Amino acid sequence: MSEKIMEAASMAEGAVEFMDGHAVETLHQDYRTAYRIEETLLHDKSDEQELFLFKNNFFGTMLMLDGVTQLTTSDEPFYHEFITHLPLICHGAPKRMLVVGAGDGGVIREACRHKDLDHIDMVEIDEAVVRFSMEHLPSLSNGAFDDPRMNLVIADAAEYVRGYQGPAYDVVVVDSTDPFGPAAPLFEVAFYEDLRRIMSDDGILVTQCGNPFVQPAELELAGGRLKECFPIMSPVMITVPTYTGGQMSLGFACKNPKFGLPSRTKIAQKLASIGPSDSFLVLNEDVFLASFALPNYVRKAGFDPLR
């Protein structure tokens, strides 16, 4: 399995290419996506990573790390609305939430819209990510870091979870980078087992699992290990226009073996309690349920849809 993951990782070139006034994404060695640069906001290249922040007329402010698009201010809700609201709504009555990574603030912005949440712990390994996002991408968090329910912890998430002895979490969202380099421990069986231990009996976990067509080994790794650790697990299929291939899979896992998806009516009611329909760019009760439908190539990889 590890050989497959490293092979998938090697498909990324790991640097921004510049061509005719465009930033060229280099996630996959066999094709490229180019974005016109209207204005360069920041370009920093260190031994650890290359960061490029720029403006594009269509997608707004765009952030690339090591040649791979991380987010744009135009389409980031395609990702953040689903990875956040799906587990919170499926739980039904969440009080405590753990967010791993997500230093840009998009997840906590959406989570703070849930008035029934009492407490959110956010564990981010690098405080500089939070500072950078608050300075250069303030719309991502939209003031959520100042919410009194928010507790920011600067720590290694694997170590934090391993040593955690506090109240159980109802919902956990792991918003990490791909499963190699610094984020590799967040895809290990030991980490998922530690998360299961600190979750409530009805606890729900959602992780990012990469593009299931372009990066099938990532879903195979993360999804397979989640299936080992939780009685209920299925990928969730979402669309993110600026992610290579346009697709994204999330790993959805539940500690309760009797978990079932909420009805369309309950989902609609919950969304209405969070905010008016025009406050969501993508999410409604129909796409909520549709995201749990799996294409054949994902089913053939060993995953079954939730009902």
Are the C-beta atoms of 287 and 203 separated by less than 8 Å? no
- Examine the domain organization and report whether 57 and 106 are in the same domain: no
Query: Are residues 139 and 281 part of one domain?
Result: yes
* pLDDT tens per residue across span 218-265: 888 888 899 999 999 999 999 999 988 889 999 999 999 999 999 999
Domain membership of residue 307 (yes or no) is no
Which pLDDT score is estimated for 249?
A: 93
Active site residue 146: no
Residue 282 domain-assigned (yes or no): yes
- Please report, for the domain that includes residue 60, its CATH number: 2.30.140.10
- 83 & 200 share domain: yes
Domain boundary among 12, 37, 72: 72
- Decide if pLDDT at 177 tops 70: no
Name the active-site residue from 75, 104, 175, 202: 175
| pLDDT higher at 229 or 12 | 229
Domain ranges, residue 289: 76-299
State the number of CA atoms in the 13 A half-sphere of 144 facing the CB.
28
CATH code for position 207: 3.40.50.150
Strand, coil or helix: what is 204?
Answer: strand
Handedness of CA 93, 153, 51, 68 (dihedral sign): negative
User: DSSP letter at 46?
Assistant: -
168 to 56, 89, 187, 196, 202: CA distances (angstroms): 42, 18, 21, 10, 10
Domain boundary among 38, 72, 106: 72
247 token code pair: 């697709």
User: Given the structure tokens 């989570």, which residue do they identify?
Assistant: 111
Model-level pTM greater than 0.85? yes
Model confidence at 282, pLDDT cuts 50, 70, 90, reads: very high
Q: Computed over its alpha carbons, how large is the radius of gyration of the chain?
A: 18
